[in-house]
Chain A
């Protein structure tokens, strides 16, 4: 682990939809550094490019411009576009997580909760049923899912419970970096609050680095250290969350902040 380098180093990153000549830039010219244990929120309205940025950083969308470098476990910085598909797949299995907005996209809906949480372990070579099940049970407890639901499939779970299961499935392998795409939208306000509390405590406990995309400034305030504000595919402001939200510099950020209903 190399403390002098960030975990994720992004320079001039951009993704264009369609072919270059007549294309539309989903996001462009994005710079950011992410350090271990840091939570970065990417906020903006719909169409701002925040989801495109998340897709590009997590390798789901191709990088049209710029570079994304990641610090591997041995301390070397790797250019993600140069890694083989096998190497990227291995990162997903062992070091990265991705929490989808819709939990059905990140779970096997008809596999039991235990199977869902156990799968990443089995994919990395765990071969003891009892230990896999025990690890799954422990994680269900940590995300506050009743352990007696371990053999139930998430089709039978509420939205909030599915989301917590998705988080457990992602964290069971102790990742170093987790991407989250609007993890709380679509949930009741009280359920959202509980979920955010959970995420915050897990992040602190595990020393994760996280990039979380959200349109909700309140979510950013609650769990992130730093915030990137995006509009029309570009970053228009970035800095410590408290500073950005309490003392916005850019006009657009000021507009965003002031339009939140207080209360």
Chain B
């Protein structure tokens, strides 16, 4: 029996697999918001760590592409680093941290602050593609609900939230209606980011590797976050600006600074923060001695 590990194909996946995934992507683009089942392959990272996003990116990436990978909005979080270096190794592509320079952006849990442009593709990593899953655990039933546009149950959940809390209590992975037809889970981006999806000039692709589903929102498609007429969707907001670069109207991370409960709020989007910072030396690459400790 052979244990000889030969070389890998460009982008890791074999051409037949890429073709299969591209066919699924085409179907997904043709039916915005609809979850297309696909034969998700094993890739050299665990399920739950972005295998869906990786398979989508691997199927569309070419040598002329420029890839940006972010996790929690940052290029430097360990998983983003790991995925970026994977593609640098197996696809030989140029990588970047600058949003507007990237042709493909693979992301976990955020949409960049810099508006996306026509020709760009953003690939979302999706843990749970089914927006109705926690209301109805059965796949056979949720499939039927989508086929018949039977989404009353989702509105019941929103109604219950308002009755109980006075607000809709979903703050991330906030359900959206795509192209007026399919209910979709946008992945665990904070509701703050939802408006960026509406009529975006970019192509938005979604990969759920473990659940084996692909879906898509073509450019300039309506994406509406659910709500009631008298309790409309309200994206979360931050009252204060970033403590480093001063940007307002951006998503912020709360960083605990001391053990007395002190904290400060800084940009989640590291690329944005770096470039908007008034003092370019404000963010410093640490030299040595970082060992295994990382402040992501």
Tell me which of B150, B155, B156, B229 contacts A89 (CB under 8 A): B150
CB distance from A86 to the nearest CB of B (A): 5
Choose the segment among A41-49, A120-128, A159-167, A177-185 that binds chain B (4+ C-beta atoms closer than 8 Å).
A120-128
Kindly count the residue-residue contacts between A and B in the assembled complex, taking CB atoms under 8 Å apart: 52
User: Which chain A residue lies CB-closest to B149?
Assistant: A86
A150-B163 Cα distance, complex, nearest whole Å: 9
Tell me which of A89, A119, A132, A151 contacts B153 (CB under 8 A): A119
Choose the segment among A110-118, A242-250, A253-261 that binds chain B (4+ C-beta atoms closer than 8 Å).
A110-118
Judge whether B152 is part of the interface by a CB distance below 8 angstroms.
Answer: yes
Pair A111/B156 contact, Cβ less than 8 Å: yes
CB distance from B134 to the nearest CB of A (A): 13
Q: Mark B157-169, 1 if CB is under 8 A from A, else 0.
A: 0011011100000
Chain B residues, Cβ within 8 Å of A127: 155, 228-229
Q: A127-B228, A129-B231, A130-B230 are in contact. Are A122 and B159 (CB under 8 A)?
A: yes
Chain A residues, Cβ within 8 Å of B147: 86
Chain A residues, Cβ within 8 Å of B160: 111-112, 115
Q: Mark B161-180, 1 if CB is under 8 A from A, else 0.
A: 01110000000000000000
A130-B247 Cα distance, complex, nearest whole Å: 37
Tally of B interface residues using CB under 8 Å: 17
Pair A122/B152 contact, Cβ less than 8 Å: yes
CB distance from A83 to the nearest CB of B (A): 13
A127-B228 Cα distance, complex, nearest whole Å: 5
Judge whether B296 is part of the interface by a CB distance below 8 angstroms.
Answer: no
Judge whether B148 is part of the interface by a CB distance below 8 angstroms.
Answer: yes
Tell me which of A85, A112, A114, A128 contacts B228 (CB under 8 A): A128
Chain A residues, Cβ within 8 Å of B230: 128-130
Chain B residues, Cβ within 8 Å of A93: 152
Pair B148/A89 contact, Cβ less than 8 Å: yes
Tell me which of B148, B153, B163 contacts A114 (CB under 8 A): B163
User: Which chain B residue lies CB-closest to A151?
Assistant: B163
A158-B9 Cα distance, complex, nearest whole Å: 66
CB distance from A94 to the nearest CB of B (A): 12
Q: Which of B104-160 contact A (CB under 8 A)?
A: 147-148, 150-153, 155-156, 159-160
Pair A122/B156 contact, Cβ less than 8 Å: yes
User: Which chain B residue lies CB-closest to A89?
Assistant: B148
Chain B residues, Cβ within 8 Å of A129: 159, 162, 228-231
Chain B residues, Cβ within 8 Å of A130: 230
Q: Mark A157-197, 1 if CB is under 8 A from B, else 0.
A: 00000000000000000000000000000000000000000
A119-B152 Cα distance, complex, nearest whole Å: 6
Judge whether A231 is part of the interface by a CB distance below 8 angstroms.
Answer: no
Tell me which of A85, A118, A128 contacts B156 (CB under 8 A): A118
Q: A129-B228, A129-B231 are in contact. Are A115 and B159 (CB under 8 A)?
A: yes
Chosen A-B contacts, 24 in total, with CB atoms closer than 8 Å, are A89-B150, A111-B156, A112-B160, A112-B163, A114-B159, A114-B163, A115-B159, A118-B156, A119-B155, A120-B152, A122-B156, A123-B155, A127-B228, A127-B229, A128-B228, A128-B229, A128-B230, A129-B159, A129-B229, A129-B230, A130-B230, A132-B159, A133-B159, A150-B163
